[in-house]
Structure 1
C-alpha cells in the first residue's frame, strides 16, 4: 500500500450536504471557494459572513458578486432559475463582520476561514485587528454557539518568517505572547496620534503646509497641515508594524499577524478539543484551469511588479537571481482547501498543509525575468506618443546597488524640478514639470515595491509540502484521471512558460487600460459650445489671465506716464531694493504682497492717477490684454452668462477693462484730502477671500456654481477655482499646473496680441 493511501486511507472528495460557514467570501480566494462549492458540491449549504457596505446590504452584495466572471460558467450551466434558487435556499447571508459576528446557526458542519487583510504593509493596528482580531472574533463566536465544526483556517506559507532552508508543515515554533502583542498594537494608534499633536511636530507640518499653500490662505494651510499629520500617523504606524515584525523574525506585519492568528486558533479551538486544519498557500495568482484559465480578481502579490516592469519602472531588480518565487494558481489552492475540508484532522490535533511550488517545481527569479522579458518584448506597453516601452534587461546587481541607483535618480529628478520651477510658465516647462512628477511617482513606487517585496524576492526558504503531496498522491491513487485532474493540485503539471506567457501575464495586462487600449494620438478635444444659461457666472482673474502683466509692471507704467523723468532712476532703484521683500511676501501670502506693494501709491493724488489711467496707462493695459481672453469673455456673454472680473488690485487701475464685463470686483485705496494713503479700504479679494466672496455672490444672485466657470493663473486661485464646475488654468504657474493636470482641468495658453474690444452692451 502506498504512503499516500496510508496517510489518507479513506480519502473523501465530496462534502455531501454539509453546511459550510465561509468567511472572506467576497475576497479573491473566497470567491473561488464559493464558486467551487456551488459548481462541484451541489448539496452543500453555504452561510457567508458579509458586511453591509453603505446602503448595500449583504444580500445585495452577494447578488452583485454572483454576476462576476468567476461565477459565469456555473450560471450558464445551471440557468438563472437555479441561480435564484441558490440565492434564496442554498446561500445564507449573515450580516456582519469578524469584529461583530452574529449568532451562528447550530447546524454548521464546516468552517472555512479565508478572511484576512489584503495588504502586506498596513498600519500595525489595522493589521492586528483584521488578521488577529478577526480570528479571535470567529473562534469566540464558534465557542459561544457551542458547536463543533471542522475549521479550515487559511493562512499563508510565509508565516515561517525570516528563515532559510526548509519550513515544515507543522505548528510554528515561537514563544511570542500574541495577546500582549495584540494589546500593544491596538494601543499604538493612540500613542502615535498623541505624538502627532505635539507642538514641535505640528509646527513642522504648518511650516511645510505654509510653503506649499500659503498663497491660498490660512484655511488651505490648516487643511494641508492636518493632511500631513494624518499621513505622518499612518506612515509611523506602517513603520511600526514593519519594524516590529522584523524584530520578532517575520518579513512584515502581514505574516506576523497571520502567524499570531494561527496560534490563536490552536489555543482557542484545537486546545478546546475541536478539529482544526491549516492551509498555507504561497503567492496565489491566476487560475490555471478552473473556473477558466487566467481568472483573477484584481492585482495580487506579484502583479504590481509585473506591471511595473512592463511600464519601464523597473530598469533593474533588487532580487537574488536564484531565489525561488513561490507562485501557485488559485484553483490549486481551492482544491487543497476543499479536500482538506472533506478530510478533517482528529480532534485537538491540528494538521498543516503547504500549497507551494518551490519544492516540486521551483521558479527562480531569473526564470521569472526571462518570462517577463519575452512577454513584454512581444507585447510592449504603448506610450502616449504611439511608441512602445522597451523591455529592460536585468543584471541583478544586488539590492544595495539598486537602492543607491534609485536615490541617485531621485536627486537628479529633484535638481530638474528646481530648475524648471524657476522658469517662466510655458507649455514646454509645464510638460517638463509633468515629466518630473511622473518620474518622482515612478521612483517612489519603485522604492515602495522594493521595501515591500524585499524579503520575498530575496527569500531562501523552501516550503516542505510532504503532506500536501501525499494528499495529491491519494487523489491519483483513488480517482479517475479526469477527476484527479479536476480536483488535483500537482505542481509539476505547471509549465511556467506556458502559464506566464499564455495565462497569467495576459490576464494581468488586460486588466490595465493603459496596456489593452493604445492611447489616441488625435488633436486635443475641441472647445465645447457654451450652454445658454442665465444662472451661470464666469469669473476671470486679471493678472496673467486677462492681461499679460502684473502689479509691478502696472506700477511702472503709471510712474512712467507723466510723473517726472527726474524721479524715474530713484524710483527704479527703490523698487529693485524692495523687490526681494516683495518676492518673499508673494511666496508667503498673495494678500500680503498686494498690501505691501500698493503702499507705493502713498502720496499720489487720486485725480492724477485717474488721468494717467484714462490716457497712456489705459492704452498700455489694453495692449497687454490677451485676445483669447477677450474672445472667451464675449462667448460667455453671448451665452447669457454673467461675466465678472475679480482682482486684488484697485478698481482705478482696471477701469479700462470695465466695459468687457458685467461686473468688476476690485479693491479700493483709502484717500485723505484727495491723496492716496497707500492703505486699502478693505482686504484684497484673493485666495480664500475670493472663495468666500464667490460663495456669497452665487447665493445672493441664484447662480449655479457647479455649472459655472473660472479662469485663473496662480496657485492662489486654486481655492476658488475648485468651487466651480468648469475651472480653467490659464498660463498657470508650476503649482497650479500640477494641480490642473492631477485634476484633469483644462489648461489654456493665452498670449497677448492684437485685440478687438467688445463693449458691455454689444
Structure 2
C-alpha cells in the first residue's frame, strides 16, 4: 500500500475517465474530486449519447444542474462555468460497444494517451432489470471498460464499483475476497457466462419469432433474469450480473492495478458536500417513503438482524482513498464499504425513527392535507408479513371485487386503485426481502486496514475523506439527515 500523506495532493494533475457519471454515486464522486482538488487535469465523463453536443446537454441537465453542485458553485462564483469547461469533458459513447462507443478517433487517442485513472461506476441497479440489459451493462460492460483500460498508455489504476451483495443469498461473515470464474453462492460452481449469453439470445429469438409485444418481451426477460439468478444462489439479476462483472475483469486484468469497491445499501449523504442529498428511491428509501405516504403500516424485517445502510459520501471517500493508496500496484484489492460489522443499525431503529419523524413532519397528500401515520409493526418473517397483508388487505380487496361484480362495476375505480397499491407493496416486499432479512454481515478488515493506514500516515484531510462507519449516530442520521433528505430531494416537499 502506498504511503498516505495527502490524498487530495495525489489527485493533482491527474486525468480520470469516469463511466456512469449520470448515476447517483458517480455524480457525488465527480463533485468530490472537483471540489477537493481543483488542479485535477481533466475528468473525461462517458455519457451515453449520439454525439458531443447531446452528451454535453445530458451532462448539464442530469449532473451539473443538480443541487449537489451548489457548494462547488459557491466556491467558484462567476467562474464556475469556465472552471467546468476547463476541467470536465463530456464524451459521447456507449458501454455496449467496442472502445466504449467513442467514435471520434482523435478524442479516443487523447484519452488513451492522457488518462491516469479509470473509475467504472456504470451499472443498472434495478433489481429486476431485463436480463439481457443487466448482462450487457453490469457484466460485459465492465469487461469492455477493462479492455479499453489495457489500451491506455500510462494508466495507474482501474477502480470498479460493485456491490457487497455479490455474495448472494448466504449467511455468516462475508469476506473481502475475489469471486472465481464460475463460482456460485449455492456451491454448484458451474456458472458459464458464455452459456448465459447464448440462453439470452435464444430466448429473445423465440420471443421475437412469436411476435410478442414489447411489454411482454420485457416481462419475460425480467423473469428470466430472476430465475437464473436464484438458480445459482443470487437474490436478483442485479447482484448476479455484478458478480459476473467481477469475474470477467478479474480474469482479464493481467497486471492492471485493480480496486473493487463493494458498497452495501447506499443512501443519503451523511455530511459531504452537505447532509441528506439523495436522488431517487434507493433500497430502504422506497419502504420508508411508502410508510410516510400511509401505504405501508408495518415493516418486514427481523429486529435481530442488521440492515446494512451506508451513506453515499462515505462510499465515495473510500473510492478516492483506495485508488490513491493502490496506484501503480499490479494487484487486486477488494473493500467492503458498509456498517454491519462496525456499527450495525437494526430495522427497529429505522422503523421507530420513521414513526417519530413522520408524526412530527407528516407528508402531504394530493389534497394538501397531512398524512397521519401509526406506529409500525415489525414482522420478523416474510411469511408472517404475507399473512398480515392477506388478512387485512387482500381478503377485503377480494370482497370488494365480488361486490363490484354484483353491483355492475360501481366500485371499479376504487377496486383498481386499491389493487394497484396492494400489488405495489407486495412487489416492494418481494424485491427487498433478500436485503431486510439478510442473515449475514460484511467483514471489512481490508477497509479497516485502509482507515488505519490513513491515521498512521498522518493524512492532513482525514476528516474530508472519512469512511469510518463508527462515527454514524443512527438516530441522528435518520431524524436529521436521511428522512429530511428523502422528503426534500425525492418527494420535493419542504
Structure 1: which 5+ runs fail to align?
A: 1-6, 198-225, 518-762
Select the structure of larger CA radius of gyration. Answer: 1
| Residue 159, structure 1, aligned to residue 143, structure 2 | no
Deviations 1:342-367 (A, max 9, x none): 12266542100111011000012122
Specify which of 413, 422, 444 is matched with residue 397 of structure 2: 413
SS at match of 2:95: coil
* Count of matched residue positions in the alignment of Structure 1 and Structure 2: 470
- Separation in structure 1 between the aligned mates of residue 83 and residue 369 of structure 2, nearest angstrom: 50
Task: Look up the match of 2:35.
Answer: 39
Task: Look up the match of 1:552.
Answer: none
Task: Look up the match of 2:488.
Answer: 510
- Asked if structure 2 preserves the Cα contact closer than 8 Å seen for 1:22 and 1:46, the reply is yes
Q: Which has the higher contact order (CA 8 A, sep 6+)?
A: 2
Specify which of 386, 391, 397 is matched with residue 403 of structure 1: 386
Task: Look up the match of 1:543.
Answer: none
Task: Look up the match of 1:592.
Answer: none
Structure 2: which 5+ runs fail to align?
A: 103-107, 184-188
Deviation of 1:298 (Å): 1.9
- Separation in structure 1 between the aligned mates of residue 23 and residue 378 of structure 2, nearest angstrom: 37
Deviation of 1:54 (Å): 9.6
Deviations 1:722-760 (A, max 9, x none): xxxxxxxxxxxxxxxxxxxxxxxxxxxxxxxxxxxxxxx
SS at match of 1:462: strand
Deviation of 1:295 (Å): 1.0
SS at match of 2:377: coil
For residues 38-77 of structure 1, what are the structure 2 equivalents within 5 Å?
Answer: 38-44=34-40, 45-52=42-49, 57-64=54-61, 65-77=63-75
| Residue 447, structure 1, aligned to residue 426, structure 2 | yes
- Asked if structure 1 preserves the Cα contact closer than 8 Å seen for 2:279 and 2:490, the reply is no
* Comparing 339-348 and 453-462, the one that deviates more: 339-348
- Asked if structure 2 preserves the Cα contact closer than 8 Å seen for 1:376 and 1:391, the reply is no
Task: Look up the match of 1:97.
Answer: 94
For residues 481-496 of structure 1, what are the structure 2 equivalents within 5 Å?
Answer: 483-496=461-474
Deviation of 1:121 (Å): 0.8
- Asked if structure 2 preserves the Cα contact closer than 8 Å seen for 1:345 and 1:351, the reply is no
Task: Look up the match of 2:186.
Answer: none
SS at match of 1:485: coil
SS at match of 1:376: helix
| Residue 181, structure 1, aligned to residue 218, structure 2 | no
- Asked if structure 1 preserves the Cα contact closer than 8 Å seen for 2:52 and 2:91, the reply is no
Specify which of 141, 145, 161 is matched with residue 148 of structure 2: 141
For residues 140-539 of structure 1, what are the structure 2 equivalents within 5 Å?
Answer: 140-145=147-152, 148-173=155-180, 174=183, 175=189, 176-194=191-209, 196-197=210-211, 229-269=213-253, 272-344=254-326, 347-383=329-365, 384=367, 386=369, 388-396=371-379, 398-408=381-391, 409-420=393-404, 422-423=406-407, 429=410, 432-479=411-458, 483-511=461-489, 513=491, 516=493
- Separation in structure 1 between the aligned mates of residue 201 and residue 330 of structure 2, nearest angstrom: 30
Pair 182,11 (structure 1): closer, same or farther in 2 beyond 3 Å? farther
Task: Look up the match of 2:19.
Answer: 23
SS at match of 1:483: coil
Deviation of 1:410 (Å): 2.7
- Separation in structure 2 between the aligned mates of residue 421 and residue 379 of structure 1, nearest angstrom: 40
- Separation in structure 2 between the aligned mates of residue 277 and residue 326 of structure 1, nearest angstrom: 21
Deviations 1:406-439 (A, max 9, x none): 34433431331342355368xxx4xx44332221
Task: Look up the match of 1:122.
Answer: 129
Relative to the length of structure 2, the TM-score reads: 0.89
Deviation of 1:116 (Å): 0.2
Deviations 1:491-541 (A, max 9, x none): 11100000010001011022455x837xxxxxxxxxxxxxxxxxxxxxxxx
Deviation of 1:186 (Å): 4.1
- Asked if structure 2 preserves the Cα contact closer than 8 Å seen for 1:318 and 1:400, the reply is no
Deviation of 1:193 (Å): 3.8
Deviations 1:375-422 (A, max 9, x none): 122223344384533224214152112223334433431331342355
Deviations 1:564-594 (A, max 9, x none): xxxxxxxxxxxxxxxxxxxxxxxxxxxxxxx
Relative to the length of structure 1, the TM-score reads: 0.59
